[in-house]
A and B are shown apart, each in its own frame.
Chain A
Amino acid sequence: MKKISRRSFLKTTLAAAGAVGASGLALPASVQGADPKELATLIDIRKCVGCEACVDACKEVNASKFPEPEKPFPKMYPSRVRAADWSEKRDVQDRLTPYTWLFIQSATVTINGEEQTLTIPRRCMHCQNPPCADLCPWGAARKLENGITRIDADICMGGNKCKVVCPWKIPERQTGVGLYLDLLPSLAGNGVMFKCDRCYNRIEKGEPPACIEECPEDVQTIGPRDEIVKRAYAVAKEIGGYVYGETENGGTNTLYVSPVPFETLNKAIEKGPGRPHFKAVEDSMAHADNLAKAMIIAPVAGAVAAVGRFYKAAKSVSETDGKGE
């Protein structure tokens, strides 16, 4: 990742705005959502053979987006603030890192009495109402109209908030890159957060994400979300399987279909930092959405209370004025 100047920061912001506006036009009919415009992907776990072609393709296609940190890192205060450095461990492929936006998780489960190892591509779920984008204080993480949740590396300060609020703890931090270096590197920020952007720049050109294009087993399918949900349930019905992502965190644009329940998968996979779970997830933003409705009623309620409180006084004042005249 290159160091940015104020000019390039502004240029990038404007370009990003333009790109999003144009993104709906560039997509071919095969991947362009009719209405709604959100595109989703379906990952059919049965088909994955764990060859890691998707992982390699992701790393190759997105190499120019990966961080190139400046070292030594600026000393950060207070001392509890730790640098996160993956630049010497770029080859790590068994978990998510700033250089590995997609990895293969494995689970040994029993299917029809036979023990099998399933391999599962894991990356950002691209939530329909992503808390990382909703709660980002700078607008660095944002949801695009085509359903992609993207972190703009030129704006992100690396505060890690997106990871804290993400139900799957997907974004990963790299210190020594990004805007914070030009502001107060010792006192605020700590790098940039990185995660899958579902190849937004390829989608803009009408090309599928690299992981989908390079998969020899056609594990993934991309298309309008409603069609993808239908397809997920059709496959699930056919194999007596299960769907993940339709309602998780209010709905995600990455759906999985599995021959075993996701509770079983969740127990069987290795979980921890950089290794997301398969638990059921409630809608993180549901409470906030409900409170938003109350905001419409609040000023009306205040106004009604004032009328109740002051109506008599207002009437007596106008009567007094009337008599005075």
Chain B
Amino acid sequence: MQEDFFPERLIKRFYLFILFLMSITGFGQMPIFKRYYIADIPGLAWLANFYFTHYVHYIGAILLFAIFGYCIVGYLLVGRQRFRLTGSAYIRIVLLTAIAGTGIFRVLKNLPDIVFSPGFTMFVDISHLIFMMIFLLVTAVFLVMKTGWLTLRQ
């Protein structure tokens, strides 16, 4: 068992990259990148393609769910013997669960045979965005505080 088990360095970098991609493509679902010239920057025209950013967002979700599965099982099998979750980890888990949960309902809504009520549709759409914004804010605070996910058990 390596000292830097959770998440393993490669997984951690991959997780951060996917989160960045999810944030960009998530915000790209609003028509802002074209309006504010960001999609005019060479190489970023794809940010104004709603279908493309939507696919990338879905692919990001697939990879993120795989990382969640990997990390949860890895922690339960080995990590928890030596590490415990920090308080900030619990906050992250709650927010990530809320983001993933509302995201799952968004995906369900987009399937051909599933229709939610207008009120619930609006709740899911807006809460997904709000949870993500809270998560980014909280993560920035944890970054400044240098609070990680795990700490060594005493």
A contact residues vs B (CB 8 Å cutoff): 13-14, 16-17, 20-21, 78, 80-81, 128-129, 131, 134-140, 142-145, 152, 155, 159-161, 164-165, 188, 250-251, 284-285, 287-289, 291-292, 294-295, 298-307, 309-311, 313-314, 317
Contacts and interface: CB of A to CB of B under 8 A. Distances in A.
A217 to B, nearest CB: 33
Contacts of B74: 306, 309-310
B115 A145 contact: yes
Residue of A152, A161, A313 ringed by the most chain B CB atoms within 10 A? A313
A137 B26 CA distance: 9
Interface in B96-154: 104, 107-112, 115, 117-126, 129
Nearest to B58: A291
A301 B66 CA distance: 6
A306 B73 contact: yes
Contacts of A311: 77
Contact of B50 (A81, A135, A292): A135
A139 B118 CA distance: 7
Given A303-B72, A307-B77, A289 B110 contact: yes
B66 A302 contact: yes
Given A137-B29, A288-B110, 20 more contacts: A13-B118, A81-B35, A135-B54, A136-B125, A137-B125, A138-B125, A142-B121, A165-B50, A291-B59, A294-B62, A302-B65, A302-B66, A303-B69, A303-B72, A305-B69, A306-B69, A306-B70, A306-B77, A307-B73, A307-B77
Interface string B42-55: 00000000110011
25 contacts: A78-B36, A81-B35, A128-B112, A135-B54, A136-B125, A137-B29, A139-B125, A145-B115, A152-B118, A160-B31, A164-B50, A287-B55, A288-B55, A288-B110, A291-B58, A292-B110, A292-B111, A294-B62, A295-B58, A295-B61, A298-B66, A302-B69, A305-B69, A310-B78, A314-B78
B110 A301 contact: no
A300 B31 contact: no
Contacts, number: 149
A250 B110 CA distance: 13
B30 interface: yes
B78 A138 contact: no
B71 interface: yes
Nearest to B106: A134
A285 B69 CA distance: 27
A139 B121 contact: yes
B17 interface: no
Contacts of B68: 299, 302
Contacts of A287: 55
A164 to B, nearest CB: 6
A164 B34 CA distance: 12
Contacts of A144: 115, 118
A19 B35 CA distance: 35
B37 A78 contact: yes
B27 to A, nearest CB: 9
A137 B30 contact: yes
Nearest to B27: A137
A144 B109 CA distance: 12
